[in-house]
């Protein structure tokens, strides 16, 4: 068992600070649950934690700088708090390994995203004076089930279905830091979903860097599985099986790639009750020339065709996307192609990123020739376009009544609640007595912003989850 710092009687407490994507959020939750299972308790705040883990992201230089800054501050805090243990986990831990201990003097451990199951032993080794411990992880041993522990509480949960990524887009560090693509066998996924639902979860989001590759590299279904709806592809089959779990109300999956937007997937989204009409489908650029250099494996026309296939099957489908501006060699003409594609695809929301060269990726060898000011300008232009587009789309929803899953009091105003539509739009509504997180209620939309809808609960609703 773990060894608390000298003189301490209560079990040591742990705090996990998270940077990066939903996969990191998921990992942080399972790290916390795993350590609780080993006798730790959860600290409310980093200031009263005995062990602080920073779950890091490597996707852009900025994300890494932030985490390194944070780790530096935490390690400096050890002077006032002897016995404090500080470790880095996640993508940057994998990318930098022991180098991170040289950069952040006093760091106690570095554990990569596919080695998180070693954390209880790692922290124990640090307590036993055998730190710093480096377990960045690489090689074949990483083809293993991910952590499946969850914390209790809340109506929504993330479930990993695919680890790593074999796509090798030219700009992306993910294949380096998250390793080879590996899909979890469906039975393990289903057991996890069933257990979540038995603990009150009503909505699951199935996660994978390129989730539509599910089952592509390794088989995930035993031969005898028969899909009632006649699906042959692994992801539609999984969606159907998850949808059949008694008590599940909503199913999401992310992130997508246009090559996975097959006729069957479109049909799965349309026909399986509970599968939400929303897809995050990163496009990255609207210029065929840039898409080619990015090695995305599609053209703008192919992407738009995938969008048409989905939209014609799934009524009310919301699409969100990621775009990179300022990729090496991106001209004004390329940029304008991105602007028009975004308009043509009618995205509900978009995340815009300024290109950041990542060492070890093919694009890092290209000249990062779009100036910082120009990247910023393009970023602003796309955000402004998106704001107008988002507002236009959301205004058209005014006066309609949408199904909303209540999530909890709004952060800004506790008299109001926040929830989400199936299309993943945030809805703010006046709270009513007795409402519980997880309740699915009908909300009439009275007002629309570019990112948020405002409405009122329709009378006669069941308010419990």
**Chain residue whose CB lies nearest ligand SF4:** 20
Rule CB under 6 A: choose which of 94, 114, 358, 420 binds ligand 5AD: 358
Torsion sign across C-alpha atoms 322, 262, 148, 183: negative
Choosing among ligand 5AD, ligand SF4, none, which partner's interface includes residue 100 (Cβ < 5 to 8 Å by kind)?
Answer: none
Q: What share of the chain is helix, strand, coil (3-state, %, to 5)?
A: 35, 20, 40
- Per the DSSP assignment, residues forming a β-bridge with 41 are 13
Stretch that binds ligand 5AD, among 44-52, 160-168, 350-358, 429-437 (CB under 6 A): 350-358
Complex with ligand SF4: residue 20 or 146, whichever CB lies closer: 20
For CA atoms 427, 433, 439, 443, give the dihedral sign: negative
Residue nearer to ligand SF4 on the CB measure, 160 or 423: 160
Distance CA 282, CA 260 (A): 12
Question: 270 vs 364, which CB is nearer to ligand 5AD?
Answer: 364
Identify which of residues 25 and 344 has a Cβ nearer to ligand SF4 in the complex.
Answer: 25
Q: Pick the piece of the chain touching ligand SF4 (CB under 6 A) from 171-179, 200-208, 230-238, 378-386.
A: 171-179
Rounded-to-integer distance, Cα 340 and Cα 249, Å? 36
Compute CA distances 399 → 425, 446, 459, 462, whole Å.
15, 6, 16, 21
Does residue 16 interact with ligand SF4 by CB under 6 A? no
Asked if 172 interacts with ligand 5AD (CB under 6 A), we say: yes
Q: Identify which of 342, 369, 344 has the alpha carbon closest to the alpha carbon of residue 355.
A: 369
User: Which one, 67 or 201, has the nearer CB to ligand SF4?
Assistant: 67
Q: Which of 2, 4, 16, 24 binds ligand SF4 (CB under 6 A)?
A: 24
For strand 278-280 and strand 318-325, is the pairing parallel, antiparallel, or unpaired?
parallel
Strands ordered across the beta sheet of 278-280: 278-280, 318-325, 349-354
Closest separation in Å from C-beta 11 to ligand 5AD: 36
Among 89, 96, 176, 177, binds ligand SF4 (CB under 6 A): 177
Interaction between residue 208 and ligand SF4 (CB under 6 A): no
177 binds, among ligand 5AD, ligand SF4, none (CB under 5 to 8 A by kind): ligand SF4
Is residue 260 within 8 A of residue 234, CB to CB? The reply is no
Query: How many residues make contact with ligand SF4 (CB under 6 A)?
Result: 13
Which residues between 49 and 88 bind ligand SF4 (CB under 6 A)? 57-59
Whole-number Å distance between alpha carbons of 390 and 446:
16
Question: How many residues belong to the chain?
Answer: 465
Binding mask 279-318 for ligand 5AD (x = CB under 6 A): ---x-x----------------------------------
Q: How far apart are CA 22 and CA 53, in angstroms?
A: 17
Residue that has been written with the tokens 């996990």 in this structure: 16
**Under the rule (CB under 6 A), what is the footprint of ligand SF4?**
20-21, 23-24, 57-59, 90-91, 173-174, 177-178
């Amino acid at each position: 068992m773990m060894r608390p710092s000298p003189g301490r009687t209560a079990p040591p407490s742990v705090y996990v600070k998270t940077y990066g994507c939903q996969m990191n959020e998921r990992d942080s939750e399972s790290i916390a649950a795993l350590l609780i299972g080993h006798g730790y308790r959860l600290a409310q705040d980093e200031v009263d934690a005995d062990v602080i883990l920073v779950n890091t992201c490597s996707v852009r230089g900025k994300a890494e700088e932030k985490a390194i800054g944070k780790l530096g501050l935490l390690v400096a805090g050890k002077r006032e708090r002897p016995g404090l243990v500080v470790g880095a986990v996640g993508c940057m831990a994998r990318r930098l390994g022991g180098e991170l201990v040289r950069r952040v003097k006093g760091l106690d451990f570095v554990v990569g995203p596919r080695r998180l199951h070693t954390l209880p032993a790692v922290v124990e080794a640090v307590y036993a004076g055998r730190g710093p411990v480096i377990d960045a992880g690489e090689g074949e041993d990483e083809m293993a089930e991910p952590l499946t522990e969850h914390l209790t509480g809340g109506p929504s949960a993330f479930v990993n279905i695919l680890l790593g990524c074999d796509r090798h887009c030219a700009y992306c560090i993910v294949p380096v830091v998250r390793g080879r693509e590996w899909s979890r066998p469906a039975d393990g996924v289903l057991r996890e979903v069933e257990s979540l639902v038995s603990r009150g979860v009503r909505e699951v989001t199935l996660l994978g860097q390129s989730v539509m590759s599910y089952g592509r590299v390794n088989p995930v279904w035993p031969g005898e599985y028969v899909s009632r709806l006649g699906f042959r592809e692994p992801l539609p089959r999984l969606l159907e099986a998850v949808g059949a779990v008694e008590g599940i109300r909503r199913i999401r999956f992310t992130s997508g790639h246009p090559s996975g937007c097959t006729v069957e997937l479109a049909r799965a989204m349309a026909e399986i009750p509970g599968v939400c009409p929303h897809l995050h489908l990163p496009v990255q650029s609207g210029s065929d020339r840039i898409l080619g250099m990015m090695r995305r494996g599609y053209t703008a026309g192919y992407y738009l065709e995938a969008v048409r296939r989905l939209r014609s099957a799934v009524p009310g489908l919301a699409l969100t996307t990621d775009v990179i501006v300022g990729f090496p060699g991106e001209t004004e003409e390329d940029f304008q192609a991105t602007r028009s594609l975004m308009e043509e695809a009618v995205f509900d929301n978009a995340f815009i990123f300024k290109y950041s060269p990542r060492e070890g990726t093919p694009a890092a060898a290209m000249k990062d020739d779009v100036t910082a000011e120009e990247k910023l300008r393009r970023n602003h232009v796309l955000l402004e376009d998106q704001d107008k587009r988002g507002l236009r789309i959301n205004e058209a929803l005014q006066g309609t009544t949408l199904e909303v899953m209540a999530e909890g009091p709004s952060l800004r105003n506790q008299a109001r609640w926040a929830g989400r539509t199936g299309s993943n739009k945030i809805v703010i509504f006046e709270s009513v007595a007795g409402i519980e997180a997880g309740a699915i209620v009908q909300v009439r939309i009275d007002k629309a912003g570019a990112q948020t809808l405002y409405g009122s609960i329709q009378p006669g609703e069941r308010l419990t989850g």
